[in-house]
Structure 1
Amino acid sequence: MNSGALLGNAVPPLMITILAWVAPSLAGPTLPFGVRIPAARADAPVIAEQRGRYRWRVGAVGAGLIVVGTVLAATTPLTWSGALPALVLAVCLAAFARARAAIAAVKRDEEWYRGLRQGVVTDTSLRTEPERFPWFWSLPALLVIAGTAVTGVLVYPSVPERLAVHFNTSGYADQYATKSIGSVFSLVFAQVGVSALLVVVSWFSFRARPELDPARPADSARRHRRFSVRAVISVLLLAACADLSMGVGAWSMWRVGRLSPALVLLPLLLGLAIVVGIAIRTGQAGSRLPAAAGDGAAEPDTGVVQREDDRYWRGAGSLYVNRADPSLLVQKRSGFGWTFNFGNPRALLLCALLVGVPLVLPLIAH
C-alpha cells in the first residue's frame, strides 16, 4: 500500500481522536460532558477527575487503534478505511458517556440543584435587532464551484469516452462510466449540493433559539451573537474547503486518471482546522469569549441558575428530544454548533432532507 493510501487510512481516525479530545474544552463551565450543573459546582472534583480520565482513554485507545489499524492496512489486503474511523468514534463516544454518567451520578446523589432558583431568560433584541447573516463568507465556496465548472467546460472535449468515476484507497480507478454531462460534471453537482445544504443548515442554525444564562443575561446574549456569526463563518469556509477537495477529485477524473488521497484530504484538513480554531477561540455558545463587554465591568449575578433540563438529552447527551419545544435546532451540549430537536416532526423532515439529498444526487448525476 502506498503512502497516500496509508495517509487516507490514518488521517480520518486521527482527526476524530483530536476532535474528541478537544470537545470538553469547548463547552461552558455549567455543561461538563453535557450535564447541566449550577455555576457554583463548576469546580467540583469529579469534573476535573472525569475530564482527565476521558482524555487519557481517548488519547491512549485512539492512538493505539490508529497504529494497529494502519499497520494492518499496510500488511493485509483488507480495507480498513471505513471500519477504523467507526471504531475510534465508538471508543470516544463510550468514554464520553462514561464521564457523563459519573458526573450525573454525583450531581444526583449530592442534590446540586436543591434550594436553587431555576429559570429561563430571553432577549427580544436578538429578534428585533438580529445579527446579519454573513453571506459574504459564502463567496469562497461559490468561486470554487464556478472555477471547477468552467474548468470542466474547457476540458470536456478532451475527456476520455470511458471516464474514471471512482477510485480505491490507493488512488487507482476501479469504476468507469460513459462520458456524459452527468458523469463529467458529477462532482460539480455534488459541490452545489453540499454547499447548498451547508448554507441551508447555517441559515436555520443562525436563527435557532439561543441558550442564555439567566444569571448574566446581557453578557450571554452578547456572547451568543458573536458565537452565531463565527460558527456560521466556520461552516461556510468548511464548505469551500470541501468543494476544493471535490475539485481536486474532478480534475483527477478529467485529466489524470488517478487520485492522490493526500491532495484530496489537504483542503478538508484545512477546513477542519479552521472550524477547530474558531471553536477553540469562541467556545460553544461563546463560552470562551471574554466576560466583559469592553469596559471591564462584569455584569452582576442575578442569582438565578439555568433550568435543569437533562431529561431532554438522550443517549450520551447528544440527542435532544423535546416535543414541547418548537425549535428546529438547538445548541449542542458538547462540541461546537447546533443539533436537531428530534422531538419536532419538522426538524425530522429537515434532517431527512439533509441526509437524503447527498445520497440521491450521485444517482441523479449518473
Structure 2
Amino acid sequence: MGTVTEQELTRRRWHLWVAFPLAAVILLGTHLYGLSLYAGLPDTIPTHWGPSGAPDAFDAKSPATVFGMLWIGLGMTALMAFLAAIIPALSPARAEPSQYRRIQREGMIRGTMGGLGITTVLLAALFSSLAIESWLRPEYMGGWFAVLFAAIILVAIAWAFWRGSRWAAQRAETAGIRPDADEAAEDRLWLWGGIFYNNPADPQIMVAKREGTGTGLTVNVGSRGGKWAVAVFLLLLVGLPAGLMLGT
C-alpha cells in the first residue's frame, strides 16, 4: 500500500482561498459604483423593504445607510476566511489514522473550505445586487432572488463537498491506497459528499460531523426524526419566505 506525506496532502490548497479575495473585489467594486451615484441619491432613502417588496422604513442618506449592506458583506467575508483558516485545527485527526483516513479527512477539509468560499462569493453577489437595486430602484425590492438564493447556496455547498470527496477518492487511487471493509462501510453512510449521515440503524437524530468538517453535529437522515428535521429546515429556509411573498 502506498503512503502520502502531509506536505503532499496539503499541496495546492491555495486555490481554495481565491474565493475570498474575489468576494471582496465584488463588494469593493460595487462600493466604487455606489460612490459614483452617492451625490444623486435622495436625502431620505429606504432602509428596509417588506415582503411585498415595498419600502417600509426610511432614514437620512449617509455612508452607513447607503453602503452598510456592503460593509456587512465585507465583514462576513473576513469571518468566513477566518473560519476557513481554522477548519484544519477544528478537525483534529483521530489517533494513528490509516493512510486512507488521512486522505479522506483532507478531502473533507477541502470540501468545507470550498463550501465556505463559494458561499462567501454568493453572499457578496447577493449583497451587491441588493445594494444596486436599492440605489437604482428603491421603490421596489424584488424578493424572489433571495428565495432562490437559499436553494442555490445549498446546491453550491453540496457541490463543494462532492468535489472534496471526489478529490480524496482520486488521490487515494493515485497513491494505490484502498479503504478496508470498515472504512468502505462507513463511507457508504455519508451522503452529499459527507454532509449528511444516513444510518437507519442509528436512532440518533444528530450525530458528530464527519472528520474534517469541523466540530459540531449534523443530521442523521436515516432516522425518522432526522427526516423530519430536514423537512422542517427546508420549509423554514425556502417555503416560509416564498409563502410570505405569495401572501402579499
Q: What TM-score do you get using the length of structure 2 for normalisation?
A: 0.64
CA deviation map 1:201-254 (0-9, x unaligned): 11111332334486x611111122222123212211111111111112212221
Partner of 2:41: 159
**1:269 Cα deviation (Å)?**
3.5
Matched, 1:243 2:127: no
Query: Could you tell me which of 53, 57, 71 is aligned with 1:171?
Result: 53
Alignment of 1:130-279 (within 5 A): 130-131=10-11, 132-133=13-14, 134-212=16-94, 217-257=98-138, 258-279=140-161
Q: Which moved more, 1:128-137 or 1:232-241?
A: 128-137
- Which SS does the other structure have where 2:145 is aligned? helix
The answer as to whether partners of 1:280 and 1:288 remain within 8 angstroms in 2 is no
Structure 1 pair 138–301 and aligned structure 2 pair: CA distance change class (3 A): same
Aligned amino acid, residue 192 of structure 1: L
Amino acid corresponding to residue 114 of structure 2 in structure 1: I
Give the 3-state SS of the residue equivalent to 2:91 in structure 1.
coil
| CA distance in 2 between partners of 1:161 and 1:318 (Å) | 53
Relative distance call for 1:127 and 1:208 in structure 2 (3 A) is farther
The 5 Å alignment of 1:83-98 reads: none
Q: Deviations over 1:37-84 (max 9, x none)?
A: xxxxxxxxxxxxxxxxxxxxxxxxxxxxxxxxxxxxxxxxxxxxxxxx
Q: Tell me if the contact between 1:148 and 1:247 (Cα under 8 Å) persists in the aligned partners.
A: yes
SS at match of 1:169: coil
Q: CA deviation at 1:190?
A: 0.9
Alignment match, 1:14: none
What is the number of residues matched between the two proteins?
A: 192
* Residue 302 (structure 1) shift: 10
Q: Where does structure 2 lack aligned partners over 5 or more consecutive residues?
A: 187-203, 220-248
Aligned to 2:218: 334
Percent identity at matched positions? 14
List per-residue Cα deviations over 1:75-123 (Å, max 9, x = no partner).
xxxxxxxxxxxxxxxxxxxxxxxxxxxxxxxxxxxxxxxxxxxxxxxx9
The CA distance in 1 between the partners of 2:137 and 2:19, in whole Å, is 31
Structure 1 distance, partners of 2:74, 2:48, is 19
Return the letter of the residue paired with 1:178. A
Which structure 1 residue ranges, 5 or more long, are not aligned?
A: 1-122, 307-314, 321-328, 336-366
After the TM superposition, which residues 1-366 of structure 1 pair with which residues of structure 2 at under 5 Å, given as runs? 126=6, 130-131=10-11, 132-133=13-14, 134-212=16-94, 217-257=98-138, 258-282=140-164, 289=169, 292-294=172-174, 296=176, 298=178, 316-317=205-206, 330-334=214-218
Question: Which digits, 9 at most, give the CA deviation of each residue in 1:1-39, with x for residues without a partner?
Answer: xxxxxxxxxxxxxxxxxxxxxxxxxxxxxxxxxxxxxxx
Shift of 1:160: 1.3
Secondary structure class of the residue paired with 2:59 = strand
Task: State how far apart, in whole Å, the 2-side matches of 1:291 and 1:213 are.
Answer: 21
Give the direction of change, closer, same or farther, for the CA distance of 1:217–1:255 in structure 2 (3 Å limit).
Answer: same
* Amino acid of the structure 2 residue aligned with 1:142: A
Task: Give the superposition deviation at 1:200.
Answer: 1.1
- In 1, Cα distance between equivalents of 2:43 and 2:182: 71
Q: Name the CA distance, whole Å, in 2 between partners of 1:174 and 1:290.
A: 53
Instruction: Give 1 or 2 for the bigger CA radius of gyration.
Output: 1
Match of 2:90, SS? Answer: coil
What is the letter of the counterpart of residue 272 of structure 1? Answer: L
Shift of 1:278: 2.4
* Contact in 1 for aligned 2:111/2:163 (Cα 8 Å): no
Aligned-partner Cα distance in 1 for 2:73–2:47: 15
Cα–Cα, structure 1 residues 175 and 244, in superposed 2: closer, same or farther, change >3 Å? same
- Distance in 2 (alpha carbons) for counterparts of 1:281 and 1:229: 8
